[in-house]
Each structure stands twice: as structure tokens, then as C-alpha cells.
Amino acid sequence: EPEVTQTPSHQVTQMGQEVILRCVPISNHLYFYWYRQILGQKVEFLVSFYNNEISEKSEIFDDQFSVERPDGSNFTLKIRSTKLEDSAMYFCASSGPGTEHSPLHFGNGTRLTVT
Amino acid sequence: AQKITQTQPGMFVQEKEAVTLDCTYDTSDPSYGLFWYKQPSSGEMIFLIYQGSYDQQNATEGRYSLNFQKARKSANLVISASQLGDSAMYFCAMREVSGSARQLTFGSGTQLTVLP
């Protein structure tokens, strides 16, 4: 069964550094998402991406964050200058061309630790 | 206001028993979808079951069923014949369909522990 893949599985970075989290969505999916989950807490929406542009973003997704689909397969999340509070699990997800019935398929996540 | 509320931070159930995980939602959108996900301790998010707001029947998927009460805005997950492998965090989520948004909004989750 096709799956969403995320790399790396764990990233450690120093405060103020830039990080890029990578995702390969399921190939025939059209909608892409980033979520984050601070340890033990709820899964929070960051941004959705459709037709090569951001379709929705949350208050968390400020100017420090950006997303890109550079080559038609990868979908990346960049954090320009990481803060301690950016430490979290970051999930990429994708959903198919259907309507409201399409579930999100999640990758296994990247655990980001900012020191 | 919270769009998805899960009032049970933790639940315990005996192996082979059934358990109900509660979820209430808040929306003025007439068209929406409700989803349940399982997150084991390994961290991945696994889709379990879906219920559409216009579906006449409660969704079922193997040992999972959804007790959908639209007037009460509740979509409780029922797990029958619990197994030790069901121990995990369970999240209820909603998609409001009007407009172009496709993202899900998640509740705070319920940690289910199945006892041998």
C-alpha cells in the first residue's frame, strides 16, 4: 500500500539554525499538509498546500515557516530560525482527489529537537 | 470555542470487552466529515474510520464502529472485543467541507489502555 514517507526521522538542531523537513506524499494525492504535535499534546494544523500554493495556514505558521514542492514529488517544510518551542513531532500528510470523504494519510513524522 | 472535544484524557478497558471513546464537535457547516485516528506509542497516525454528516447509517470498519448522533453533535468511537494492541492514543478529527479547506481539526485525544 502506498505511504507517505518523511525524512529524517529525528533532527537535532541548535536554536537559530534553519531546518528543512522532507516528505514524499502518496503519488496520486493532490492535497498536502503539515501538522505538528508537541510531546503528549494535540495534533495541530500548520499549513495545507494544493495546486502549488498554500490553501490554508494556521496562526502557528508565521513568517519563520515556509513550504515548497520543488520537484513534483517532494514536499518540504522549512523553519528559518528555530526556537526552543519549535521542538515537536512534525507530520506530513496527503489526501486524495476525492472530496470530504478522503482521509489524511500521515507519514511517520520527524521529531525535531531544538537545543 | 473548541471544535472537537474529547473529554476522556484516559480510559481503561479489560481485554475482550468493548469500550466507547467520546467525541463531540461544534460546527455550523451543514456538510462535514468526522474521522478517528489511532496513535500507538511508536508515534504514527493511523486512520481508522470516517463518518459523513449526511450518512444515514453509522460507519463500521471491522471492530471499529462510530456511534453518530447528529442532533447531539457527537461521534463516539466504539471498539469491540478490545485487544492489547488497541492500547494507544485515539484522536477524533473533523473536516468542514464548505469552501476549499481540506485540513482536519483534531481533538486533544484519549489514551486507551487495554488491561490483560
Mean pLDDT of chain B, nearest integer: 94
pLDDT of residue B100: 67
pLDDT tens for A36-58 read 999 878 999 999 999 889 999 99
More confident residue, B34 or B98: B34
pLDDT of residue A39: 87
Provide the 3-class DSSP secondary structure of residue A70.
coil
Cβ–Cβ < 8 Å for B7, B23: no
Tell me the Cα Rg of chain A. Answer: 13
pLDDT of residue A74: 93
Residues of chain A with C-beta less than 8 angstroms from the C-beta of B46: 106
Q: Which of B114, B111, B84, B110 is nearest to B6 (CA)?
A: B110
Residues of chain B with C-beta less than 8 angstroms from the C-beta of A50: 100, 102
pLDDT at A99 over 70: no
pLDDT at B58 over 90: yes
pLDDT of residue B1: 62
CB neighbourhood size of B80 (10 A): 13
Mean pLDDT of chain A, nearest integer: 93
* Span B5-18, average pLDDT: 97
For B111, list phi and psi in degrees, rounded to 5.
-85, 115
Q: Is A29 on the interface with B (CB under 8 A)?
A: no
Cβ–Cβ < 8 Å for B99, B67: no
pLDDT of residue B97: 80
* Span A65-88, average pLDDT: 94
pLDDT at B70 over 90: yes
pLDDT tens for B18-41 read 999 999 999 998 889 999 999 999
pLDDT of residue A41: 87
User: Could you give the count of Cα atoms lying within 13 Å of B13 in the half-sphere of its Cβ?
Assistant: 24
Taking CA–CA distances from B40, the nearest residue in chain A reads A108
pLDDT of residue B44: 93
Contact B102 A42 (CB under 8 A): no
pLDDT tens for A27-37 read 889 899 999 99
pLDDT at B83 over 70: yes
pLDDT of residue A13: 98
Q: Tell me how long chain A is.
A: 115
Contact B109 A42 (CB under 8 A): yes
DSSP summary character for residue A15: T
Residues of chain B with C-beta less than 8 angstroms from the C-beta of A102: 102
pLDDT tens for A7-22 read 999 999 999 999 999 9
Q: Which amino acid would we find at residue A12? A: V
